[in-house]
Amino acid sequence: MARKIGLVGFGCVAQGFYQLVVNNPLVREQIEIKRICIKHSDKPRALSEDLFTTDIDSLVTDNEIEVVVELIDDASAAWDIITTALSEGKAVVSANKKMIAENLRNLQRFPHEIQNKFHYEAAVGACIPLLKTLDNHYGYEPISKVEGIINGSTNYILGRMFADRVSFEEALGQAQDLGYAESDPKLDIEGFDASHKLSIILFHAFNQVCKPEDILRIGIDRIDSTDVDFAVKNQKTIKLTACCFRNESSIGAFCLPRFVNLTEHLGRTEDAYNAVEISSVNTDKQLLLGKGAGGEATAMAVLADVMSVLDNQQRMIKPQHGELSLNDGQEIDIYVRHQQNIDTSSFTEILDMGSAGGDQFLIGRISLKALKKSPWARHTGNSIIMI
Ligand code: HSE
């Protein structure tokens, strides 16, 4: 008999998940979506009314339901739902990166048995099996760095700005129409979504908690055609990149737009694809590439997680050897196109200065810490891109 699933939310990813279940006979014979909890009962739906409820308690306490699949975008409501479902003895699958990133410390305190009943592969890199790879495949291999492109909509937007020379606003509208962007697209374009995902990656790579708000974060919302021209003139493209690393005594993480060579893997990562490079002691580097946003691509990973929890597949939790401090001392080179004067004393070295479009630009070496605390770095008229 098919095992019962309770679905919470019926947006883009949840509808994709529903279709994957009902359209595949092999899946359909193993699982059945018994009930779907929605917020607005008055919206017209193509499915039978009996399938829907607005009563979350009846779903999470339903004895027949073995797995609760949580796919809503309200992080705090989602946390309440998943903790209740876990305390009811159910397994939980989620794709809610904000909720997970904000609760890593709480998750770390859960007994391993409970951690193993909560899977959220779809939260990072959509269909890319990244968290499973970090947990199990790299379970005994010391990872030194994980970096790449982990937000699909911004990669799509930047791609359109380079290939078709469309404006930022037009490209964002296209990303929204294609279902890549968050319901609040500010989360994508200002780098919040990438910093949430980076916290989760750091947790799985190093079993360390770094709060998203402690990560240096600059989005792509300040990038315009002047920056695109500058990149093209220098045979580069621009990508929103995220990076976390660890050494003996510290961890580090940042999320920044970056000039990338067209020949690099990241430079060739198009559309809403994500690319993540894992560096480790014995492997040098390994690249994972796949579609990082969109209903179907994300739903595919949700389905894989449902099958994993029903199959009791264990995720390996890395041993934790104490808390490592956040290292903001690392220096990076950045380009700043500025409409407002910037305080050059924040830099350890100025490498170049000039004009770009009607603005001035400066290239210099700066520590992550200095960049984080410089008021000019937060000014929305200053475009900052790592070199
Ligand atoms: N808005 C997200 C992105 C969706 O663009 O990557 C997938 O997490």
**Per-residue pLDDT at 90:** 97
Distance 201 CA to ligand 1 centre (A): 15
Question: Closest Cα partner for 181 from 158, 202, 156?
Answer: 156
φ/ψ of 275, rounded to 5, equals -140, 130
Give Cα separations from 263 to 88, 266, 332 (angstroms): 51, 8, 21
Query: Whose C-alpha lies nearest to ligand 1, atom 8?
Result: 293
Distance 183 CA to ligand 1 centre (A): 10
Question: Closest Cα partner for 365 from 355, 383, 351?
Answer: 351
Distance 126 CA to ligand 1 centre (A): 8
Query: 10 Å Cβ neighbour count for 144?
Result: 14
Structure tokens, 84: 């209740």
Question: Closest Cα partner for 96 from 242, 197, 177?
Answer: 197
Distance 181 CA to ligand 1 centre (A): 6
Domain 3-124+296-310 has CATH 3.40.50.2300: no
- Closest atom of ligand 1 relative to the 155 alpha carbon: 5
Mutate to test the pocket of ligand 1, among 12, 131, 188 (most ligand atoms within 8 A of CB): 188
- Closest atom of ligand 1 relative to the 156 alpha carbon: 5
- Closest atom of ligand 1 relative to the 153 alpha carbon: 5
Fold of 125-288: Dihydrodipicolinate Reductase; domain 2 (3.30.360)
Name, in order, each residue with C-beta under 8 angstroms of 113's C-beta and a sequence gap of 6 or more: none
Distance 293 CA to ligand 1 centre (A): 5
pTM over 0.85: yes
- Closest atom of ligand 1 relative to the 122 alpha carbon: 8
Distance 151 CA to ligand 1 centre (A): 5
**What is the CA 49 to chain-centroid distance, rounded?**
34
Instruction: Provide the residue count of the chain.
Output: 387
Distance 376 CA to ligand 1 centre (A): 28
Distance 237 CA to ligand 1 centre (A): 20
- What is the sign, positive or negative, of the torsion defined by CA atoms of 292, 298, 304, 309? positive
156 contacts 175 by C-beta, under 8 angstroms: yes
Name, in order, each residue with C-beta under 8 angstroms of 333's C-beta and a sequence gap of 6 or more: 351, 363, 364, 365, 366, 386, 387
- Closest atom of ligand 1 relative to the 180 alpha carbon: 5
- Closest atom of ligand 1 relative to the 197 alpha carbon: 8
pLDDT digits (tens, 9 = 90+) for 264-279: 999 999 999 999 999 9
200 contacts 101 by C-beta, under 8 angstroms: yes
Whole-angstrom distance, CA of residue 43 vs CA of residue 152: 29
**Per-residue pLDDT at 132:** 97
Question: Closest Cα partner for 10 from 70, 99, 76, 83?
Answer: 70
Distance 379 CA to ligand 1 centre (A): 25
- Closest atom of ligand 1 relative to the 95 alpha carbon: 8
Whole-angstrom distance, CA of residue 313 vs CA of residue 293: 25
Mutate to test the pocket of ligand 1, among 98, 153, 187, 255 (most ligand atoms within 8 A of CB): 153
Distance 255 CA to ligand 1 centre (A): 15
Write out residues with Cβ below 6 Å of ligand 1.
Answer: 126, 151-153, 180-182, 188, 193, 292-293
Whole-angstrom distance, CA of residue 200 vs CA of residue 221: 23
> Three-state SS string across the chain, please?
CCEEEEEECCCHHHHHHHHHHHHCHHHHCCEEEEEEECCCCCCCCCCCHHHEECCHHHHHCCCCEEEEEECCCCHHHHHHHHHHHHHCCCEEEECCHHHHHHCHHHHHHCCHHHHCCEECHHHCCCCCCHHHHHHHHCCCCCEEEEEEECCHHHHHHHHHHHHCCCCHHHHHHHHHHCCCCCCCCHHHHCCHHHHHHHHHHHHHHHCCCCCHHHCEECCCCCCCHHHHHHHHHCCEEEEEEEEEEECCCEEEEEEEEEEEECCCCHHHCCCCEEEEEEEECCCEEEEEEEECCCHHHHHHHHHHHHHHHHCCCCCCCCCCCCCCEECCCCEEEEEEEECCCCCHHHCCEEEEEEEECCEEEEEEEEEHHHHHHCHHHHCCCCEEEEC
Name, in order, each residue with C-beta under 8 angstroms of 332's C-beta and a sequence gap of 6 or more: 254, 256, 365, 366, 367, 368, 371, 386, 387
Which residue ranges of the chain lie beneath pLDDT 70?
none
**Per-residue pLDDT at 255:** 98
Mutate to test the pocket of ligand 1, among 151, 156, 192 (most ligand atoms within 8 A of CB): 151
**CA-based R_g, the chain, Å:** 22
**Per-residue pLDDT at 357:** 83
358 contacts 231 by C-beta, under 8 angstroms: no
